[in-house]
Amino acid sequence: MSHTVAVINLDLPGATISRHVYGHFAEHLGRCIYGGFWVGEDSDVPNEGGIRLDVVEALRELQIPNLRWPGGCFADDYHWRDGVGPREQRPRMVNSHWGDVVEDNSFGTHEFMALCELLGADPYISGNVGSGSVQEMSEWIEYLTRADDSPMAALRRANGRDEPWKVPFFGIGNEAWGCGGHLRAEQFASLARQYSTYVRNHAGNEVYRIAAGASDHDYHWTETLMKSFDPLDAGNGPAAPFQGISLHYYTFTGEWSDKGWATEFSTDEWYLALARAAHMDELLDRHGAVMDRYDPKKRVGLVVDEWGTWWNVEKGTNPGFLYQQNTLRDALVASLHFDAFHRHADRVVMANIAQTVNVLQAMLLTDPDTNALVRTPTFHVFAMNAGHHDAAALDVHLVDDVPTRSVDGGDLALVSASASTKGDTALVSLTNLDADAPRTVVLDLRGRDVVGHSARVLTADAANAHNTAERPDAVIPVALETVRKHDRGLEVELPAHSYATVELTLA
């Protein structure tokens, strides 16, 4: 069997991989909030204050660092005052973007903040620029974070919460080029400066403000936002009321109106999906290059706060609810994204997969009839990668025989890898994208002595294998036994269509 060599210098740590690139996204969309996170206090499903506990317990396994809410497109229709106070008195609203359904606002600010506390996750609030006002956004951050007897702090106390919360992340609008207002880049750049100014730091709460950024290849949008910064005379980089800008990119194999199916796909569609996922690396390179021209010291963060697969909805489900299954292919899409985020750890400060429960590339699926909870293959990639949280990135140089396949006008490397180190450990992530053939990877480990190792692998007999309530363990990680000592370090045999992690103990 031919093999690929991965050279890793264990003694040359790079930028820190922020744990926040393993962030999540919960929008008022389909059954993500209602039936996913929220079942209500009167539900037979075990809950705490209406929050579904089996979902919380599963996500705690992932050590999720942050949760983005309430959208998405929903954020720019959402008026936060409608979601506070006694639930029976909250006004109803139309969710015009997702299913055109009416919701009762029973899940609002207090419920979301309680959810974050149960999860141990930092809240990432998306503010309403599209249909909201500067005053509305300013009062929301005051309501959330101010400690004294200001008008909004007093209102919060009247609604049952005495102490302010910590809100480290606040989004200034969402997809302003589309559902967030159909604005031109120049229009939004001015609004981002204005709205960000009024998202103030109260009571010692330091807010990292994230302006709604580009979709896909819209480098003009990124450049326009970067040009809106005020240069500092001292040459320390740009200054503006916001500290980060976002990027959205989804993976699918068809056209926007027919994206392909989650569980029914050909071998060509397997490779096309993975090639499009691997394209994230180029997007980070090129958006990062634009940012570098204005911010060479990388003081402005890039936040990929929507990413993941987007397939046709499962047959027989509401097309506005975006419910899809999640296969081994989705898991490998995730592993490719994480490799890209690790390689760009000096610029990518946060990322949020879309979405956490029951929507798009979800971690968890809940059955509306039986209330069964299913962990998806993507869930397991997040769990296997926990060792990368806040670790120092290590360069991985793939040399010798790196197999490729011609896909979509380019060459797709069939082996992907990234690595990090923290203290006396290192974690190496390896993906074999070959649909049919195993692959041997030699880890050429340099700079530090390796005194122990363990490995796990995520794979299945079929590339479209997925977990269901009837077969919840069809795709789960197991010990990888095909790791052997090699003159250059370790030799790892990867099954076809697999993802593996190798944890190293260092002297």
Q: Is the peptide bond before 194 cis (omega within 30 degrees of 0)?
A: no
How far is 96 from 74, CA to CA, in rounded Å?
8
Catalytically active residues are 175, 306
**Contact status, residue 27 vs residue 72, Cβ threshold 8 Å:** yes
How far is 32 from 251, CA to CA, in rounded Å?
20
**Contact status, residue 371 vs residue 45, Cβ threshold 8 Å:** yes
User: Cα separations (Å) of 79 from 137, 288, 319?
Assistant: 9, 33, 25
Indicate the residue type of 55.
Answer: V
Indicate the residue type of 334.
Answer: A
Nearest to 328 by CA among 498, 486, 100: 498
User: Cα separations (Å) of 119 from 59, 373, 423, 451?
Assistant: 7, 17, 26, 35
Nearest to 60 by CA among 429, 382, 474: 382
φ, ψ for residue 360, nearest 5 deg: 50, -135
DSSP 232: P
φ, ψ for residue 201, nearest 5 deg: -85, 115
Nearest to 489 by CA among 438, 425, 427, 443: 443
Residue 305 in tokens: 């706060």
Q: How would you classify residue 155: left for phi > 0, otherwise alpha for psi between -120 and 50, otherwise beta? A: alpha
